[in-house]
Copies of this chain bind each other. A is one copy, B any other.
Amino acid sequence: MDNFAHFVRVYIEDTDVGGIVYYANYFKFMERARTEYFRTLGYNKPALMSASQLVVRDVSLRYIKPAYLDDQLFVSGSIKKVSSFSLEMTQNISRDETVIAKARVRLACIDPLTKTLSKFPQTIFEELKSRINT
């Protein structure tokens, strides 16, 4: 069972001259899904955002089948590891129940001003830990 899932429609802006979704745009789709998930955990509150910012530290993505204009994609995610400063997730992109891309993402919590590592706010940390999905 995944922690979250989000639908994404493919528009012309997402495609390229090869007739498929441009490879960098998968990372936009994955972040939209993560953002909607964090929103449900209370992470978009201005107070939190001013205290901490999530940035991607490592990402890997395997493209299995191309995505096309008008596709309705389903972007899921599962929390795999949580530490005081970082978070690891897997994310899949599917179309009609077929996985077309698989990713792994590691996010770090940083101070928005200094851009240095900063601990997750305690409530967020506990919340994330309780949702680890093995």
Contacts and interface: CB of A to CB of B under 8 A. Distances in A.
A1 interface: no
Number of chain copies forming the complex: 4
B60 A17 contact: no
B12 A15 contact: no
A17 B54 CA distance: 12
Interface residues of A, number: 36
Nearest to A60: B60
Contact of A23 (B9, B18, B27, B60): B27
Given A16-B13, A115-B20, A57 B53 contact: no
Contact of A13 (B31, B59, B66): B31
Interface string A38-75: 01000010000000010111111111001001100000
